Chains A and B, each alone.
Chain A
């Protein structure tokens, strides 16, 4: 009888332990950060569920038409996505693609799907990017190079 009781107690402790493990696991399950569009009055070009599944196909198809044929009225445009969906937070800070707070990264980091778009494309709307006039350094370099070249030519 004592043996049975002991076994029962072990079972009870084990189940409590297991339950605790599962609860904490659920609490730690990561969820994607889903961001609302900046302009909530604007309608997306397709319903939300369609865009969640197929946004990449729309963009891929139309990028070739734009690049090679100069068709620029395409409804699916990466620039338009960014314009509508990426916005500054309450402090006026705007997240770049590296941050989970960026509209695209919220899900993409969660799903571990790497996106290459923003290695070349602007990841924030132009109106929010503060640009210092860094081009002047290139100009100075250029002038230096020109001066060197001129020396060679003469």
Chain B
């Protein structure tokens, strides 16, 4: 038994070495190609998954409300599907990670439609008030709930100015592999953290793009060359409730004051 374990350890290190060697080979053999790939990959995570997340990245989203179609719920549907959110016919308490909100300017009658979810604040009130440390903001800016240590007190839900969090009131079964969730804990948008860690984009952004609405951009706010940073630089982007100075990771375009 011991021998075979050692053997597999050796095999793993060999594999690691070979894969690193392959990467090094790519750098030296084809620098042009790699440069091209880096420019393309600037919007998703390229961190190897054995390294901890760092503040080198700050993941965020930019939502162009002028492109967000009124009545379209494809981002909400994709989120529910991705996270296995099941309703019990009680909209007041059923979990919502993301919801569509329609704003109406009373003077002009102009309606704006937008998706609202956890704004992934840098200085998050939910993390501030959490008595156990279950609510936290990851080094790369994603606000999460560690359900292993959440006691379900719901202080974070009261502290959140965006009403972004839900409490799970019912026993849950048939959870999704990447979205563990259970009774007695608080939950909210995770920016599809497993997807992001594996170099993907959140399900809502993917769905919005697939619908050809292109109202949502996901990317690294710390990378000046990412699509989201360029869009923000060119056209700006507002935080919701900027007066709270939370430095949100989710920004909006096309909102009136």
Contact = CB atoms under 8 A, between A and B. Distances in A.
Interface of A: 43, 46-48, 63-65, 67-73, 79, 96, 119-123, 126, 129, 131, 134-135, 137-139, 141-146, 149-150, 153-154
A72 B4 CA distance: 24
Given A47-B5, A69-B52, A142-B99, A129 B174 contact: yes
A131 B51 CA distance: 34
Contacts of A121: 175, 180
B180 A122 contact: yes
Contact of A47 (B1, B52, B136, B177): B1
A154 B111 CA distance: 11
B4 to A, nearest CB: 7
A71 B86 contact: no
Contacts of A70: 47, 49, 52-53, 138, 140, 193, 197
Contacts, number: 114
Interface residues of B, number: 57
B183 A119 contact: yes
Nearest to B96: A142
B14 interface: no
17 contacts: A68-B146, A69-B139, A70-B140, A120-B185, A122-B177, A126-B177, A131-B174, A135-B77, A135-B86, A135-B87, A139-B76, A141-B90, A142-B73, A142-B96, A145-B91, A146-B99, A146-B100
B87 A137 contact: yes
Contact of B52 (A71, A120, A131): A71
Contacts of A122: 174-177, 180
Contacts of A46: 5
A121 B222 CA distance: 33
B198 interface: yes
Interface in B140-156: 140, 144, 146-148
